[in-house]
Structure 1
Amino acid sequence: MKKDFMFTSESVTEGHPDKLCDQISDAIVDRFLQQDQYARVITECAVSTGIVFIAARFEPNANVDFTNIARQVIEQVGYEQSEFNGKTCSILTSLRELSPEPHRLFKEANLTNAEIEQITVNNQATVFGFACNQTSAFMPLPIWLAHKLARQISHVRRHNILPYLTPDGKTQVGVEYRNRRPHRIHSITVIASQNKPSKPDLKQLQHDIKENVIYPIFADEDIKPDAQTRIFINPDGAFIKGGPAVHAGLTGRKNAIDTYGEYSKHSGSALSGKDPIRIDRIGAYAARYAAKNIVAAQLADECEVQLSYSIGLSRPVSIQVETFGTGKISDEEITAILDKHFDFRLAGIIKQFNLRNLPSQTEGGFYRKLAAYGHVGRMDLELPWEKIDKIDVFPHS
């Protein structure tokens, strides 16, 4: 295993077309669950110049205006360009009703352990959770910094600090590691779209991004850019307007950004656009919960948890733990502790994290807030899978 290396991760703003699709999809999931906590819905979205396409499968027990939700999200993200905006874009839908499944209407809060055991998953999946002690959020430093930069681009736009920016942007951070620990910032890339090529010119844009995005973000970081750090701001020149008017978007196409910036494995399945019955979504949250508690308990400096599920079974057929040589006890011992003290069953996860009720209990919805800047490692949201309330089940190092 390499000890010295350089690793890069990227993030995007909420106006990136792929992230716009994720937010529309999860806003629809929120609306279904706000009306009926037992609602089942799977929805995907695609955007291009002037067009939004929504495909959804759902049980017909809720009254949801797909078109209105999409227009609201587009407007809230900030698209007001003539080429693409929430008022004039064309929205196409392909809607199909799912066959009712009464056995999915269980009230998880009242289930006994035996009843939880009887509720099986209805799709196969292999999911991953990861945590490390590189940051206070137990996330790898490259994706943590990339997310911070992307959020700052949106901040300076929304607060009219750099009012010429549009909602679309992208960031990338390269970190050099020594002995598998972050050592220095190798490179920073920021791509920000603007409304007009002449306001400002590229040189002024680069200055503005450094002063208002990059430098403020690193002010409170332990590792800061140095004289050798390579900084690229719109290296290909002006990026005009951006968004769906320039490049298309699709739900679920930013899985690495949603998770660990490819520092760790992630599932090939999209996280957004699915109700909590989908194990390929909520299983990833449960795996993160386990990995984070392992690292918080100081049993390892970094940990990856893999859960594999098969249709018709309630429990994962496989639980794997990898601590990359940093574990204080063996990976096999940690796996045995997870199997004993963590509930990775579908209904058990829904019950512990209260996943069906969170959209109605959270102002502005719940799942849509996950659709930009990561489903894990969020310090701005109180996510149940980010709690470190299981550290006592592990032996003290």
Structure 2
Amino acid sequence: MTVEWRAAEYVFPGHPDKLCDAIADAVVQEVGRREPRGLCGVEVAVHRDHVYVTGQVAGAGVGEIDVDGMVRDVYRSAGYDETWRPAAEDLVVEVNLCCRDFEDGEDFFRGVADDQTISTGYAVDLPGTNFLPPEHWLAWELSRRVSVLAVDCPELSLGPDGKLIVLTGQENDETWLERLSVSVQQDETGDDIVLQRAVHEVLEKALDGFVAAIPGFRRTLPSEVCVNGAGNFATGGPEGDNGLSGKKLVVDAYGPRVPIGGGAWSGKDFYKADRAGGVFSRRIARAVVLAGAACECTVTLVFLPGDEQARVVSIRDQDGRLLDAQRWGGLFDLSLEGSGDRYTGACDLVEVARLGHFTDQSRPWEELGFDLQPRVTANRESEVLVMS
């Protein structure tokens, strides 16, 4: 049988693009705290010691938000200080936001789409990976473990920036990690050999968890583990590359095996069609898989300008077979009003931006809110009993 190869990447919280996403979602979070129906459409760019925050926010009290302070807090918590530049205190923050109160009656129309979007949701029958593609989950898990070395092992002289990429193989019922490449910021005085050993130790400790999470996972080290393959990586973060919010859509979602659908999520409130659509399509896909109607499920839905509810375009299983869109979509409230009411202020959006939108099963949108009792038929699509 031919080996099926899959690749996926993840980036550290100190990566320039992820700094931007975290800043954008910090603004969304603060707008929602002050005005639960607040409007937020924010984009962020960083380059060297400059940070540019642009877009629009609306609602009671949003003009009083200390965006400058939030930017510095995000940098500081990501690890940027006097050792790793740019230090939070040295930033030049340019804020060009349209900040305003709602016009009369404007908040009433938050449940009406002011833009269009195509959204894709996905789930696979792997509870151990939180129903994410295994290669994507492996990249996330290893990224999370390696990134904390900067704090846990100060003797390594690691900075906040980094990324990694995994290559997995699958044949018959076996999955394995074939190659791992890690790029992690390290001071020129740091010992790269000790860093290599530390990454190998992280990998060794993670293998048992991989075996438990992914049925048929082979507990073997990759044939190739490369650390800083392009050479010294002392200059990183915004000093080494510019960053933009919304650039890591594939990382935010499901990895490269799944189409990304529409626009970015970070920087937008939960009444916005892009963000609500991403959540809704994921919830439907999870329900289909949890009910036993498919081993894998891909959901496509759209919002048109003026829509109050998402329109489910298609629901497909692992073989591309269409499932009943009306039936499955009907299990959920797919309204913008419902999205904004349920998810505004429901979790820490800075952590969501940094660590993934679907990687944590405790995220409020990952909880279906009802129990699925499947009665699976011969063709797998279930008679689903919704138990309150």
What interval of TM-score do these two structures reach, taking the shorter chain for normalisation? 0.7 to 0.9
Contact 1:11–1:170 (CA<8 Å) still a contact in 2? Answer: yes
Q: How many residues align?
A: 368
Paired residue secondary structure (1:204):
helix
| Correspondence for 1:186 | 178
Residue 183 of structure 2 aligns with an amino acid whose one-letter code is I
Give 1:35 shift: 1.5
Question: What CA RMSD, in Å, does the superposition of the two structures yield over aligned residues?
Answer: 2.4
| Correspondence for 1:150 | 143
Give 1:331 shift: 2.6
| Aligned counterparts of 1:42 and 1:169: Cα–Cα separation in 2 | 27
| Correspondence for 1:233 | 227
Give 1:220 shift: 1.9
Change in 2 beyond 3 A, CA 1:228/1:270: closer
| Correspondence for 1:111 | none
| Correspondence for 1:168 | 161
Residue 374, structure 1, aligned to residue 356, structure 2: yes
Mapping for residues 24-103 of structure 1, pairs under 5 Å? 24-59=23-58, 61-62=60-61, 63-80=64-81, 81=83, 83-97=85-99, 100=102, 102-103=104-105
| Aligned counterparts of 1:17 and 1:292: Cα–Cα separation in 2 | 31
Greater strand percent: which structure? 2
Contact 1:294–1:394 (CA<8 Å) still a contact in 2? Answer: no
| Aligned counterparts of 1:315 and 1:155: Cα–Cα separation in 2 | 41
| Correspondence for 1:272 | 266
| Correspondence for 2:323 | 332
Change in 2 beyond 3 A, CA 1:40/1:126: same
| Correspondence for 1:320 | 314
Specify every segment of 5 or more residues in structure 1 that has no aligned partner in the other structure, as ranges: 109-118
Change in 2 beyond 3 A, CA 1:26/1:304: same
Give 1:65 shift: 0.8
| Correspondence for 2:343 | 355
Give 1:104 shift: 5.0
| Correspondence for 1:253 | 247
| Aligned counterparts of 2:263 and 2:135: Cα–Cα separation in 1 | 22
Paired residue secondary structure (1:167):
strand
Q: Which string of whole-angstrom CA distances, capped at 9 and with x for unpartnered residues, describes residues 196-235 of structure 1? A: x2321x3332122212x22222232212563662211111
| Correspondence for 2:120 | 128
Paired residue secondary structure (1:244):
helix
| Correspondence for 1:115 | none
Contact 2:12–2:354 (CA<8 Å) still a contact in 1? Answer: yes
Paired residue secondary structure (1:56):
strand
Give 1:314 shift: 1.8
Q: Which string of whole-angstrom CA distances, capped at 9 and with x for unpartnered residues, describes residues 129-186 of structure 1? A: 100024521111111111111111222222235551101010111111235x652212
Comparing 8-17 with 268-277, greater Cα deviation is found at 268-277
| Correspondence for 2:276 | 282
Residue 292, structure 1, aligned to residue 280, structure 2: no
Specify every segment of 5 or more residues in structure 2 that has no aligned partner in the other structure, as ranges: 212-216, 378-388
Change in 2 beyond 3 A, CA 1:162/1:125: farther
Contact 2:50–2:92 (CA<8 Å) still a contact in 1? Answer: yes
| Correspondence for 2:214 | none
